[in-house]
Amino acid sequence: MSPDARRALTRSMTSSAPTPKFLSALSGETHANPPIWFMRQAGRYLPEYRAVRATAPDFISFCFDPEKAAEVTLQPMRRFPYDASIVFADILLVPGALGQKVWFEAGEGPKLGEMPSIESMAEKAGNAGEALKLVGETLTRVRSALDPSKALIGFAGAPWTVATYMIEGGSSDRSGARTYAYQNPEKLDALIQVLVDSTVDYLAMQVDAGAQALKLFESWAEGLSEPLFDRLVTQPHIRIIEGLRARGVTAPIIGFPRGAGTLVEDYAAKTPVQGVALDTSASAKLGQEIQKTKTIQGALDPLLLRAGGDELLRRVDQLLEQWNQGPYIFNLGHGILPDTPIANVELVLERVTGHKVGG
């Protein structure tokens, strides 16, 4: 962290302005009306997002255009009373910074070129923050425009999840990457370490640029056996957090081991994250168990948010009832779907915040 950034952080923490509710919850406070934000809240369910997206030549250029990226990051904050804003970027920017070609084909998701040698990527890992400084510029723009009561979240894809794309050359059922983990353990461990190092550098840059909290997206934790999960998820997350702390980064961190099932308990016990994001299938009991030592976040089904109706409100009430006796951040169990009606988002925000929302 730069001296300036550290001073700014200290200032923000000691100033008389109240701590944003999101950060208060993440520090362990309990709120009867928990803070709320939605994964992919800057996204296609908003017509104003689609309008800006249409002006960018491709998805990667869009992520690297601080003006446009800041604009879409702020759009949902203008429209809804979300408590936190997450920088608009993508988990596959890091492979790009390491020299692997990444592009998006319409309707097909990400594609990645051949993976560079470990040696060449290792050389670039310590420079990931500098290589991705345009994301920092987006963060700085957003932070300066954002109300002080709202928190700004930076993020990165976690090493295993990013590695699955790098190994398989795109989206997959991860069986190729898991087989690689079994057949080439040393090579995979070396790749994971390159990703640990680059993620530390990238996230430290994001905090310097204005991020007040960080999230590690382990989107593909599902299906990993217990030893593989420990080796590829838990231990790398610990190394990333230790690396950040060693660089003086004090921002709270949320880990999201999506699909990890019963392994989440062990993850929560071992990793020094402040928050654990839970997916759609998390049990009430799991959340309550983790709340004894950490803040939890989640876990409304995005399909239910899209479907709406009484079932949606019943589930929101149930989530509040089961988890708002401890530190809790209301969120989805996965990203918001592009065809989610805005009225449903407003309904949930109204229920969670206790205030009238929208028209």
Q: Which two tokens stand for residue 132?
A: 């991705």
Give the binding range for a copy of itself (CB under 8 A) out of 10-18, 134-142, 148-156, 281-289.
281-289
Q: Is 182 a catalytic residue?
A: no
**Residue 28 or 223 having the CB closest to a copy of itself:** 223
Q: Is 231 a catalytic residue?
A: no
Smallest distance from a copy of itself to CB 224, Å = 6
**Residue 146 or 224 having the CB closest to a copy of itself:** 224
**Residue 19 or 164 having the CB closest to a copy of itself:** 164
**Residue 56 or 190 having the CB closest to a copy of itself:** 190
Give 63's contacts (C-beta < 8 A, 6+ positions apart).
Answer: 69, 88, 89, 90, 93, 134, 135
Residue 212 near residue 12, CB atoms below 8 Å: yes
Q: Is 165 a catalytic residue?
A: yes
Q: Could you say which residues in the range 286-345 bind a copy of itself, by CB under 8 A?
A: 286, 299, 301, 303-304, 306-307, 309, 311-312, 315, 318, 333
Q: Could you say which residues in the range 236-275 bind a copy of itself, by CB under 8 A?
A: 259-266
Count of residues of this chain found to bind a copy of itself when the rule CB under 8 A is applied: 42
Classify the C-alpha dihedral 348-299-82-59 as positive or negative.
Answer: negative
First vs last Cα of the chain: how many Å apart? 43
- Report the phi/psi class of residue 40: left, alpha or beta, with left for phi > 0 and alpha for psi in -120 to 50: left
Smallest distance from a copy of itself to CB 179, Å = 5
Q: Could you say which residues in the range 138-197 bind a copy of itself, by CB under 8 A?
A: 175, 178-179, 182-183, 185
Residue 337 near residue 306, CB atoms below 8 Å: yes
Q: Binding of a copy of itself at residue 132 (CB under 8 A)?
A: no
Q: Is 90 a catalytic residue?
A: yes
352-357 CB contacts, 8 Å cutoff, 24+ apart: 352/33, 352/34, 352/36, 352/316, 352/320, 353/33, 353/36, 353/81, 354/33, 355/81, 357/80, 357/81
What are the CA-CA distances from residue 278 to residues 29, 63, 138 (Å)? 18, 26, 27
**Residue 5 or 282 having the CB closest to a copy of itself:** 282
What are the CA-CA distances from residue 12 to residues 7, 141, 151 (Å)? 8, 17, 11
Catalytic entry in 6, 44, 79, 306:
44
Smallest distance from a copy of itself to CB 319, Å = 9
Residue 255 near residue 240, CB atoms below 8 Å: no
What positions carry a catalytic annotation? Answer: 40, 44, 53, 90, 165
- Residues at the interface with a copy of itself (CB under 8 A): 175, 178-179, 182-183, 185, 222-229, 259-266, 279-286, 299, 301, 303-304, 306-307, 309, 311-312, 315, 318, 333
